[in-house]
Amino acid sequence: MHRRQEHLHWRRARENHQNHRERPLINKNANDINIFEKLKNRKFIGTLAGIAAAVCYGTNPLGALKLYATGMQTNSVLFYRFGLAWVIIAIVMLFRKENFKVTRQEFRVLTGLGLLFIVSSLTLYLSFHYMAAGVASTILFTYPVMTAVIMSLFFHERVTLATLLSLLLSGVGVVLLYWSDNGEALSTIGVLLVLASALSYALYIILMNKGNLQMSSIKINFYVLLYCALGMVVYSLVAGLPLTLPRGAVSWFYVGWLALVPGIFALVLMVYAAKYVGSTATAILGALEPLTAVLIGLLVFNEPFTAYLAIGIVLILAAVMIIAVAQQKKQTDTLT
């Protein structure tokens, strides 16, 4: 009897010991599943954020053209867009108790960013007077290719086959957009304005990358938007243009739309997209930006959609995707 009890005691001890050893394995597997699910959720959220950001950016023509139709000029549209967005971001910074101070070096970089963004926004919005907004937004999307070319020419990055191919594709795409199906050309002034917008935005991205600003994106945009609002005041004085108030509630709605949707919302969503799915996926998802602008022009403003426009869009988007994938491969090779 005593032996039987002793045998049962040792048997239970072995079972408890076995259960104790297996339990961490079960927990580990559960933790692995939880981590995997979290990563899947982050990628899903990042993808949605990237799509939403591109669509938000693509709504620039919606607000701009609606305000132009009320008689507002470009300087007034941009002043109220930048001014309202700046006020909102200032309130957010105060709520978050962020420090507004900057160093001299940061001040110089922020000044450069502000000036470049003024030029990019002003030339883009002016181009809407000379061509269909969908075409202008598509040509603007050549900025990633311009960024790669500038980095190769002036920052000693190796000129790759991907860079040359993307440059060729985007160039052919712009030429196709320049000529319509019936042989009539777009406004040369309009095309030059959009190319200037794309170039200045490419320089903006490079300066942002090389400026080494150690501050939040909210703080950066607080100063950039401040420069832009003040820049519109200076531009208005130099050009002799009045700053006119939006007329009525509908006009104020579209001013708010420009400040929030292609401004603040797109900025915040882009940060989440880049954080959760990476810059390559974000750049590819950004292809929805010109497509959104084309759809708005087609459905809301009855802008023409031609075969040349379709082919030009495809070529420019292909050029951007080639650059994005090549950059991702370069980063992967560097890490390995």
| Domain residue limits, the chain | 53-335
Buried b (16+ CB within 10 A) or exposed e, 83-96: bbbbebbbeebeee
The Cα 132–Cα 286 span in angstroms is 20
Q: Is 185 helix (H, G, I), strand (E, B) or coil?
A: strand
Considering only CA atoms, which of 103, 334, 324, 336 is closest in space to residue 219? 103
The Cα 208–Cα 219 span in angstroms is 13
CA distances for 284 relative to 14, 144, 220, 311, 325, angstroms:
57, 11, 24, 18, 9
Considering only CA atoms, which of 199, 206, 251, 1 is closest in space to residue 109? 206
Identify the DSSP state of 141. T
> 306 phi and psi, to 5 degrees?
-115, 170
Model pLDDT for residues 206-246, shown as the tens digit of each residue:
888 788 888 888 898 899 999 999 999 999 999 999 999 99
pLDDT of 294 reads 87
pLDDT of 329 reads 72
Residue 307 CB contacts under 8 Å (≥ 6 apart), including other chains: 181
Considering only CA atoms, which of 48, 64, 51, 50 is closest in space to residue 296? 64
Considering only CA atoms, which of 228, 162, 230, 146 is closest in space to residue 195? 146
pLDDT of 23 reads 46
For the cut 90, the answer to whether the pLDDT of residue 63 exceeds it is yes
Considering only CA atoms, which of 286, 326, 305 is closest in space to residue 142? 286
Considering only CA atoms, which of 195, 202, 191 is closest in space to residue 154? 202
Q: What is the pTM of this model?
A: 0.80
The Cα 324–Cα 197 span in angstroms is 20
The Cα 196–Cα 177 span in angstroms is 16
For the cut 70, the answer to whether the pLDDT of residue 127 exceeds it is yes
pLDDT of 308 reads 82
Q: What interhelical angle do 143-154 and 188-210 show, nearest 10?
A: 60
Model pLDDT for residues 113-124, shown as the tens digit of each residue:
999 999 999 999
Kindly write down the DSSP assignment for every residue of 66-91, as one continuous string.
HHHHTT--HHHHHHHHHHHHHHHHHH
Model pLDDT for residues 242-298, shown as the tens digit of each residue:
999 998 999 999 999 999 999 888 878 877 777 777 655 666 677 788 888 888 988
